[in-house]
Amino acid sequence: MTEGKSVALWTKYLPAMRILLKKAMTEEQQLAFSKIELQAVDNRKNVNFSFDLEISNGKVESTVGISSMGKDLFNVLNGDPLVRKFMVDKKIMIQMTRLSLLTFRCN
């Protein structure tokens, strides 16, 4: 999958992700995606959509091993002024599992 393919998906869920990031300050938050929705992004058979994204002080810790879907998510989050301001002084862990569950942890 090439970078940019999942931007529309992440942009669609940006309002919900803003809320989940704030709530993640007190407890882990999750957002479930349907397989159909993810297959609209990449319809290859047996595609693995999972990734781990660690954001520290508004910057991705390491881009090695992060899928283009994870990079697109960071770009959408970082492109939003409210989220960018929120991320400045925090450590945020975002994980997409093979079961299409996006998890947010924040401290």
Q: Is 40 inside any structural domain?
A: yes
Q: How many CB atoms lie within 10 A of CB 107?
A: 8
| pLDDT, position 31 | 96
pLDDT band at 17 (very low <50, low <70, confident <90, very high): very high
Res. 3: pLDDT tops 70:
no
Q: Between 85 and 41, name the one with better pLDDT.
A: 85
- Domain coverage including residue 59: 7-106
Q: Is 17 inside any structural domain?
A: yes
pLDDT in tens, 22-79: 999 999 999 999 988 888 888 777 778 899 999 999 999 877 778 889 999 999 999 9
> What's the structural domain count of the chain?
1
| pLDDT, position 2 | 56
| pLDDT, position 65 | 75
pTM to 2 decimals? 0.90
Instruction: Identify each DSSP E strand in 27-77 by its residue range.
Output: 29-32, 51-56, 59-60
Which tokens go with 27?
Answer: 């407890």
Q: Is 27 inside any structural domain?
A: yes
Q: Is 28 inside any structural domain?
A: yes
